[in-house]
Structure 1
Amino acid sequence: MAAAVRRSPYKDFLQPALQRRFATATLVVLATAYFEALLLARWSSWLWSWFPLGPTGFRAALFFLCGIFVIILRISQYHPGIRTSDSPIATLVRYAPRWTTFETLFTYALSAWIFSLVYLGTVPDDAGFERITYFTYDRARLNEKPIFLTTHLVLLGIYQGVRHLYSDIDRLSLGTAQPSNGDSSKATGEDGHVSTQMRRFRDQLPKIVVHSLHQSVMGLLLSASLYPLLLRDLLWRVNMTMLRPLYSLPRTNVPPANLPYSPSTLLRCLAASVMVMFAWTAANTAFSLLLVKSPLKNGKPLTADAKDPNGSLLNGLKNKKLSIKCFAMWELAYIARDFPDRRKAIFEDMDRKDGPMWSQVYKICLDTLHTLSSNIDAYTAPPAPATTPQQAETALGDKPRTSAPPKEDHIFAPLPSNKSAFRTSVSSAFQNAALAGPGGPPASLSPVAKRTLHAARSRLLEAAAPNAEIEVTPSSFFRELALKYVLSSPLAGYPFRQTRRRRLASAVLGSPYGEPSLYVNAASAVSGLAVSSLREDRYGHVQRDVASLIRELTSLGEKLNAFVNEGGMGKHWTDVVELEGEDKCEEVEEVVNAVKHALKRVIVAFEPYARDLRLTRGEVKKAREVAGLEQEVEVREVMPEMVQIR
């Protein structure tokens, strides 16, 4: 008996590819560091000003350390998918207490501090940035300019860390392998080639420069505002305490009267800010571009060189880690679109432990798409009612009750309206006062007396009614207060506003992360394999599942369309400010269009064989409506392309 072929895990092929991409991003950081080191060179010697083993190389190594911190941070925190939450304040509450938040802020602050030390060491002596200055009689004085520059760069690092967390820079925007206009364009490997990614990085350089300049100006304004208000006295005392044992400094810790905000100082701070911001932005851009290359190697799928390519691919598709599963699904979509040999291998792979390869791929893709429906059901499901505890009699037995049983009314039920309660009390009090006399109520009243009593009571109630018409509850009061003073403001109400875009992403893509490319590639892969089976499935195993595939895609497409486009997701009461782009979610729209396009491909290819697939005319008509097709195709009586399985 032949030995079973070892199935290598999918990560054995993905990890080397990712490591090569990490190395390429590191080279970009090194080139950026060497370029900035050249900018700070004094060019007093034609050799040592640029030679890597001289002072320039030492500065480049330290600058490289500042950039590599960002790469290490990205490696430890990268994730596919967008963060899904109903409001920004919900995102803040969920992610702010985590260790990764402190790690991000500390990484950028440490990188900025190291950069400030290197930059101060390269500033010319006549710039006035030495730590100790000497005036008359050789008396040493502490210079505030380097203190402000270092503080500014550290604050800029914290500011960049906050922007990093707010913009979710750690997210990887994975691609898709959808056919364009129904045609399958062959994958040549250019999307995953290093030269293509470097060309894209080069095209991003002007944007990186503009972004660095803009953020540097914002950071300088922030530092100039916070430094004298919060940090100046403390930092001055700390520096005086540390340097007084080394220099003959004054005993007083009072800072100078003038702030170090001269034009030359601010220009130096701005130049240093642009350099360090450029290093950070270049590192982040290179990492984001290079890591999301297509799962191809030399124009072939990553698992092409495996001993068991289908088994390794299945291992990735079944992996519980979202990043590995997304890359494996992306590779499957490429196979369904561009690689007929691998498609035939999937159709002909029958002797697997858990069933044929096609059956497992079909189930995995449909389970992935069913997640969308499950997410919608979970989001729209009403909260479970609170369970009432059993009565004490069931546990202690029947005993004689000595008091009235407890009330079972809802304790949080609203009180009767002020209007009805007031009217009832006034009416009863007025009638009792009228009927009561010195000797008690009379036995009866005359008709005239009754009419007079009724008219007086009505006039009194009408006069008191305007004061008791409006019912005010605490919830309605605070809601009106929030709508009037907080949510109506575009800036103040932003953290609490639950926009339709955010709620759509949470409802459809799930939480805490939702990766649209996973669902797009799943729909593209299963539909592409089904359509290709007409020519490449020699045994006709795929056609057994075509009818159920059409029904599942029809049901899912109808549910998504009803929820997203037909009012299934209403407008939240906090969404009171009309902002452009907040009404639609691009990621959800991409998923909806992918499901619709997959259904269109399958129904166009298999509608002529609907009778043999046991699809009714109603099912075909419904599928065409969901897919957006109009004209019907005549059903063929003879189907030589298909193999009927009885």
Structure 2
Amino acid sequence: MAPAVNARPYRDFLTTSLHRRFAKASFYTLFLCWVIAIWMGDWNSLFWTWFPLSAVGLRTIALYIPAFMVFMIRVSQWHVGQRNTVTPNQVFNRLATKKSTFLTFALYSFSAWVYSEIYIWTQSQHGRLQFTVDQGRFTERIKLNERPVYLRFMFVILGCIQTIVHLWADYDQIRIPVKRTEQTGKTNILQLMRANLVLMFSRSIILAASAFPIATVLYYLVGRDPLWRLHFFLVQFFVSLSRNAKPSGVAPFMSLAVIYLIEGTLVTFLWQYTNFIFSSYINREPLKKELPITNDSKDPNGSLLNGLKSKKDAVKSTAFWELAIITERFPDRRKTIYAEPDRVKGPTHTQIINICLAELGEIHKRVDAAMNPDRSTQEPGKSSAPAETQLVRQIAQPLKEGQILGPKAVPQSRWEKVGAVTGEIARNNSSSQNVQNSYAKEYLKKGQEKASHGVRQAESWWDVHRNRLAASPVGWPFRQSLPRTANVVVAGAFYSRQATIFNAITALANLAVHSLSEDIYGSFHNEVPEIIRTLTQAIKDIDAYMNVIQIHWTDFETLTKPEAERKKVKEVEEITAELKDGLEKIVRAFTEYLPGMKISSEEIREAKRLVAKGPEVAQLR
């Protein structure tokens, strides 16, 4: 029986779980901040160099601010599934207009600026990074030091470049395993870090080194004068400076370049590390103490249903993941799904089945829209044209559409008839205008031939240059790839729903198979025919679409493949294989019961045909 209480929203349990993971990720990040704080400090004392309750501890807390900016980006923008678009340019168009993109630029730039300030205030005496620099003579006026201005600018540009890498590599994606329903144990974070530490550090070195020439050129081209004036405006309130002062240069340049390369590598490594540790924790199964997170609810299945019905893709995807894990590894919890027939909106298992079938039904809608783009969405028998409205009563006959001029007088006598015939012949064959018309027709024909030839030459020239342009790096963002198009249609867009589709299939197959022994009310079998129909239809839709999909002329990568390999798309094949696997489990479990269910023999044969493999055909029949 369903509990007579209002189920808590699923997001309450998910948010609590995410908070615990965030706290653990923050602990490891603080450890890295502590190591960098030791590096920045003065190594004068063996004890105070590392002891947290000292200046090292303060620097550690300050260095956590740049890492916390990354956490803010990830928490606010994480999503499930890869980005699916027909062309790469569509990704750029989508991201270029989103507020989150500008927020990412702002937070990374602020993170880099804070790190530079911490380093400058820590090393100002050793690296000649103080606000002003003494020229060495008592009689000379002090000048504004340009070195810290240059260093701050370099770090901000590094933050912008890191933003581009973040968006390009889609760091915000959470990769839910598409077939991870078996218990794999807790992931050891320390082992993951040791396995990826060298890779992250090498990437940090490459990124910092690559940003160095870009940031330097930008500084001298556009940033030097306005930044130096701003710095001068701020410092003149504290130090007496000459109003005619000008930028004095960043010499010695090599020492400043070494400082940037070392500290730029460290801050980039901090960003890479923070992203990695966040993804490692957020990507863990929705479990608490090795049990589903909704087990703490007074109405666990009610809270799970709230998550499955959520309008937020991230919450919904996590709920589907938990549902698949429950049906695979927790038999006690799975039995409660069958044992709640009195829920307000229907039995628990019926609601779950309907939600999962609706997810698979989206495949049919996307495929149908792709194969029939011009199909009318109106109800049958209704015309799209508005009905004609007759405002005034018709009081006269409608206008004739034929010849308007009146008929000629009919000749009466014999000579009049002869004259009419000979006159017509003379007008048609003896007029001087006929000669001019013949010349005009000849010139027109030659002109049309030349025009046709010119059009063919222009089209040939355009085809050659169009292909060259599309094959170049400039044309890459606009290429329409067959794998990308197939993924958009089958798995959905803008973010792929492949993981949700897999988890829905897993839940359907597990609930159907285990219902034979766990459904105490014996009502689940009524859902089996519709499950078989939906799985069968999804397989047929995908196969039909992949048979008719055309290779776009800009898809050079697919055109270079052998004919047999051109329409093989990994993600689509994985979804088809999972659909067939789930359908096969259900068909095998219900083979002897199917004839007595509300499903026709043709549908049964079609389902068996789709899942049969070689020698198994006869067995399934």
What is the TM-score normalised by the length of structure 2? 0.84
State the match for 2:419 in structure 1.
Answer: none
1:80-105 C-alpha deviation (Å, 9 max, x unpaired):
23333322332232332222122111
Matches within 5 A, 1:24-39: 24-39=24-39
**Alpha-carbon spacing, 1:470–1:404, altered in 2? closer, same or farther (3 Å):** farther
Corresponding residue to 1:605 among 556, 577, 589: 589
- Match runs of 1:65-84 below 5 Å: 65-84=65-84
| Aligned residue among 152, 170, 175 for 1:150 | 152
Q: Are 1:338 and 2:322 counterparts? A: no
Number of aligned residues: 586
* d(CA) in 1 for partners of 2:290, 2:205: 39
- Aligned with 1:528: secondary structure? helix
Determine whether 1:534 maps to 2:516.
Answer: yes
Aligned partners of 1:261 and 1:400: how far apart in 2?
99
2:289 equivalent to 1:309: no
Q: Rate the CA distance shift 1:242–1:310 in 2: closer, same or farther, 3 A.
A: closer
Q: Distance in 2 between matches of 1:23 and 1:96?
A: 32
Query: In the TM superposition, what whole-angstrom CA distance separates every residue of 1:510-532 from its partner, at most 9, and x where no partner exists?
Result: 33333311110000110111112
Work out whether 1:22 is the aligned partner of 2:22. Answer: yes
What is the aligned partner in structure 2 of residue 366 from structure 1? 357
> Counterpart of 1:530 in 2: which secondary structure?
helix
Alpha-carbon distance, 1:14 to partner: 1.8
Paired with 1:372 and 1:496, the residues of 2 have a C-alpha distance of 26
Q: Does 1:318 align with 2:298?
A: no
Aligned counterparts of 1:344 and 1:299: Cα–Cα separation in 2:
18
Instruction: Look up the SS of the partner of 2:595 in the other structure.
Output: coil
1:560-607 CA-partner distances (Å, limit 9, x unpaired): 12223x2x3322344346699997654444323221221122223333
Displacement of 1:553 after TM fit? 0.8
Is the 1:152–1:220 Cα contact (8 Å) retained in structure 2? yes
Q: After alignment, is 81-90 or 207-216 more displaced?
A: 81-90
- Corresponding residue to 2:551 among 571, 574, 591: 571
* 1:97 matches 2:77: no
What displacement does 1:26 show?
1.4
State the 1:501 CA deviation: 2.9
**Matched position secondary structure for 2:311:** coil
Gaps of 5+ in 1: 180-184, 406-438, 637-646
Q: Letter of the 2:584 partner, please give it.
A: K
Match of 1:543 in 2: 525
> Which residue of structure 2 aligns with residue 199 of structure 1?
191
2:451 maps to a residue whose letter is A
Deviations 1:189-246 (A, max 9, x none): x2xx4x6244323322222111111111121122122111221222222223332343
Q: How far apart are residue 403 of structure 1 and its match?
A: 11
Cα 1:600–1:271 change in 2 (3 A) is same
CA distance in 2, matches of 1:395, 1:541: 61
- Shift in Å at residue 295 of structure 1? 1.3
**Equivalent residue of 1:512, what SS?**
coil
Check conservation: 2:335, 2:518, Cα contact below 8 A.
yes
- Residues 1:518 and 2:500 are matched in the alignment: yes
Q: How big is each residue's C-alpha offset from its partner over 1:117-147, in whole Å with a ceiling of 9 and x where there is no partner?
A: 1111232734333332222424312232222
Residue 85 of structure 2 is matched in structure 1 by: 85
Q: Is the 8 A contact 2:124 2:130 kept in 1?
A: no
Q: 1:267 to 1:395 in 2, by over 3 A?
A: farther
Q: Which residue of 2 aligns with 1:357?
A: 348
Task: State the SS of the aligned residue for 2:133.
Answer: strand
CA contact (8 A) 1:329 1:518 kept: yes
Instruction: Give, in angstroms, the shift of residue 360 of structure 1.
Output: 1.7
> Which of 231, 236, 243 is 2:228 aligned to?
236
Q: Take 1:2 and 1:209, find their aligned partners in 2: how far apart are those partners?
A: 53
| 1:220 paired residue number | 212
The 1:316–1:482 alpha-carbon spacing in structure 2 relative to 1, beyond 3 Å, is farther
Distance in 1, matches of 2:150 and 2:537, equals: 63
Map 1:37-186 to 2 at 5 A: 37-123=37-123, 125-138=125-138, 139=140, 140-177=142-179, 185=182
Which residue matches 1:275? 266
Query: For 1:584 and 1:148, how far apart are their aligned partners in 2?
Result: 52
Cα distance, 1:384–1:145 mapped onto 2, change above 3 Å: farther
Q: 1:591 aligns with which of 560, 568, 575?
A: 575
1:374-393: CA deviation from partner (whole Å, max 9, x where unpaired): 12223444257899876997
- Distance in 2, Cα, partners of 1:158 & 1:150: 13
Deviations 1:20-58 (A, max 9, x none): 011112112211111111111221012221111211111
- Which residue identity does 2:24 align to in structure 1? T
**Deviations 1:266-318 (CA, angstroms, capped at 9, x unpaired):** 11111111111111111111111101211112222222233222222222222
| Contact 1:123/1:129 (8 A) holds in 2 | yes
SS in 1 for 2:137: helix
Residue type at the aligned position of 1:527: A
2:298 partner amino acid: K
Structure 1 residue aligned with 2:320:
329
Cα distance in 1 for residues equivalent to 2:263 and 2:439 = 86
| 356-365 or 77-86, larger mean C-alpha shift | 77-86
Determine if contact 2:3/2:298 at 8 Å carries over to the other structure. no
Q: Which of 270, 276, 280 lines up with 1:289 in the alignment?
A: 280
Of 482, 486, 494, which residue of structure 2 is paired with 1:504? 486
Structure 1 window deviating more from structure 2 (362-371 vs 305-314): it is 305-314
- Alpha carbons of structure 1 residues 515 and 389: separation in structure 2 relative to 1, 3 Å: closer
Which has the larger displacement, 381-390 or 593-602?
381-390
1:208 and 1:395 map into 2 onto residues whose CA distance is 77
Asked if structure 1 preserves the Cα contact closer than 8 Å seen for 2:84 and 2:494, the reply is: yes
Residue ranges of structure 2 left out of the alignment (5+ in a row):
378-382, 402-422
The 8 Å contact of residues 67 and 111 in structure 2, kept in 1 or not, is answered as yes
Name 2:477's counterpart in structure 1. Answer: 495
Mean Cα displacement is larger for which, 147-156 or 338-347?
A: 338-347
| Aligned equivalents of 1:3, 1:518: Cα separation in 2 | 27
- TM-score (normalised: structure 1): 0.81
Encode CA deviations 1:535-557: one digit per residue, 9 max, x unaligned. Answer: 33344323222233222211111
Change (3 A) 1:361 1:94: same
Letter in 2 for 1:355: G
Percent identity (aligned): 31
The structure-2 alpha-carbon separation of the partners of 1:388 and 1:250, relative to structure 1 and needing over 3 Å to count, comes to: farther
Q: Find the counterpart in structure 1 of residue 12 from structure 2.
A: 12
Report the CA distance shift for 1:303/1:573 in structure 2 as closer, same or farther (over 3 A).
same
List aligned pairs for 1:620-631, cutoff 5 A.
Answer: 620-630=604-614, 631=616
Query: Residue 268 of structure 2 aligns to which amino acid in structure 1?
Result: M
- Cα displacement (A) at 1:170: 1.8
Partner Cα distance (1:465, 1:275) in 2: 71
Cα distance between partner residues in 2 of 1:28 and 1:269? 25
Counterpart-to-counterpart distance in 1, 2:252 and 2:493? 47
Report the Cα distance in structure 1 between the residues aligned to 2:130 and 2:116, rounded to whole angstroms: 13
Deviation at 1:622, TM superposition (A): 2.5
Task: For residue 336 of structure 1, report the CA deviation from its aligned partner.
Answer: 1.5
CA RMSD in angstroms comes to 3.8
Per-residue deviation at 1:443? Answer: 4.6
User: Aligned partners of 2:196 and 2:573: how far apart in 1?
Assistant: 27
Distance 1:351 1:385 in 2: 41
